[in-house]
Amino acid sequence: MPPSTPGAALRHGMTDRRITGLRERLVRAGGEDLPLAGDSVPDPTVFDDCVDHAVRVFQQRKGLIVDGVVGPETEAALNDAQYRLGDRPLFFDEVAPLHGDDVEELQDNLSLLGFYYGHLDAVFNRQTEYAVKELQHSLGVPSDGTVGLDTLSGLARVRKKITSAKAFSLRDHHRLESLQEALRDRLVLLVPSGAGPQVSPAGAPDSFAADQDAITLDVAQRTRDLLRAVGAKPVIAAAQGAGASSSSAGPEDLDGSVPEVPEVLPDDALVLTLQCEWNSSPLAQGVATFFWGAPDTRQAYSPVGQLASDMILRELVARTGALDLGSHARQWSALREVRTAAAWVDLGYLSNEDEASRLRSGEYRARLAEALLCGLQRVLASTPEPTATGTMSLADIQDYYRRDG
């Protein structure tokens, strides 16, 4: 079996010293029932069938792309999965915040008790510390913000009284119900593929990344122009490794300036990540959307993000005739870490010759952009829209704002 390149993603068939540690981390992440231990296999440095199976099971459980490859997303999720609530003291560290599955479990419990109102992002941030202090005050233990034995014992006593009404979800729904003027003056961050970490799907040709970047950037630019026409404040995230004024990102404003992405997004901002897909089968085709939530139950951790995902998918299917591959809950960092409503949109498969041809068409990309605009309008409109899915136009939305202005 060939050795891997140092630092490269790990996959089936590789031999690498890092695989010994990978086996141990998979066991701690819940793979205790699999023969992964180094003393139970001839060579623990080999990425064999058992490791491949364990990685895929882990990816499925965490809502990741199930490809058996230990790349950046799977690596980060494995690192977080090494901790369970109670394994270590938890506290706020401004320089190097603690993160892991134990923090997410804590946030979930705090949310169910009504103390925490943020995303379950597995990061012990300042908001989590405030929630812990409120819990400690209620429990009658020292309110120092550190989750130690006393706090965990008190939490265990009250957990039985927790209801299923998640406070952060209720707050998100309330935010949706109280929205006024919908898209007008609202920040919409458009993230084409080049602005995120570039990990080409297994089997994709070398040209995939460049083709995907060109398509998603063009759709982002067309969507930006439509959003501006209805009074929104769209921003296109710059390509990674490019300066703020990079022409490759194409986010120039009407006056020639380049609006910068705020370091902290407003609570009512919307984030759309645009990607294309590749599959080993040339028959694979269709559009899909994703939101931050639990893959096994489809429970939304961001109801606004879920609604955006659902409405955008409906418009995409109605306007393009593409196959509906569904709206799905995922725990990807791109959805979890933005701390506001976010949707991930797969625009189609470049591995399908017919779909790739459509994606390279300017007319088709224009329909994709219209679908994104109208999907967001349906999410944020303060009154129900009678217009049927796929028939709303830019003029309809502009008329909506003139009536309400």
CB 373 within 8 A of CB 230: yes
End-to-end alpha carbon distance in the chain: 67
| pLDDT at res. 144 | 93
Higher per-residue pLDDT: 396 or 304: 304
Residue 251: pLDDT band with limits 50, 70, 90 = very low
Q: Could you tell me the domains of the chain?
A: 18-80 (1.10.101.10), 101-165 (1.10.101), 175-404 (3.40.630.40)
All residues at 6 or more sequence positions from 166 whose CB lies less than 8 Å from its CB, including other chains: 111, 112
Per-residue pLDDT tens digits for 264-280: 778 778 899 999 999 99
What letter represents residue 31's amino acid?
G
Per-residue pLDDT tens digits for 336-347: 777 788 999 999
Distance (Å) of CA 204 to CA 211, 226, 280, 350: 11, 32, 8, 9
Per-residue pLDDT tens digits for 123-156: 999 999 999 998 888 888 889 999 988 888 888 7
Quote the CA–CA distance of 66 and 324 in Å, as a whole number: 20
Per-residue pLDDT tens digits for 17-33: 899 888 888 888 876 66
Query: What are the structure tokens assigned to 133, written together?
Result: 């202090």
CB 73 within 8 A of CB 333: yes
Q: Determine how many CB atoms are found less than 10 A away from the CB of residue 86.
A: 17
What letter represents residue 85's amino acid?
L
Per-residue pLDDT tens digits for 73-111: 899 889 888 888 888 889 999 999 998 999 988 988 888
The pTM of the full predicted model, rounded to 2 decimals, is 0.64
Checking if the pLDDT of 261 tops 70, the result is no
Checking if the pLDDT of 37 tops 60, the result is yes
Percent of the chain whose pLDDT exceeds 70: 78
For the chain, the average pLDDT equals: 81
Cα 325 to the center of its chain, rounded Å: 17
Look up tokens 């089997």; give the residue.
Answer: 203
Closest residue by Cα to residue 329 from 349, 347, 348, 310: 310
Quote the CA–CA distance of 174 and 120 in Å, as a whole number: 18
Checking if the pLDDT of 304 tops 50, the result is yes
Closest residue by Cα to residue 32 from 67, 84, 69, 72: 84
Checking if the pLDDT of 326 tops 70, the result is yes
Q: Phi and psi of 120, rounded to 5°?
A: -80, 80
Checking if the pLDDT of 172 tops 60, the result is no
Quote the CA–CA distance of 343 and 341 in Å, as a whole number: 7
Quote the CA–CA distance of 309 and 324 in Å, as a whole number: 12
Query: What are the structure tokens assigned to 322, written together?
Result: 């593409």
Plot region of 120 (φ>0 → left; ψ -120 to 50 → alpha; else → beta): beta
Q: Phi and psi of 347, rounded to 5°?
A: -85, -10
| pLDDT at res. 178 | 52
Quote the CA–CA distance of 124 and 90 in Å, as a whole number: 8
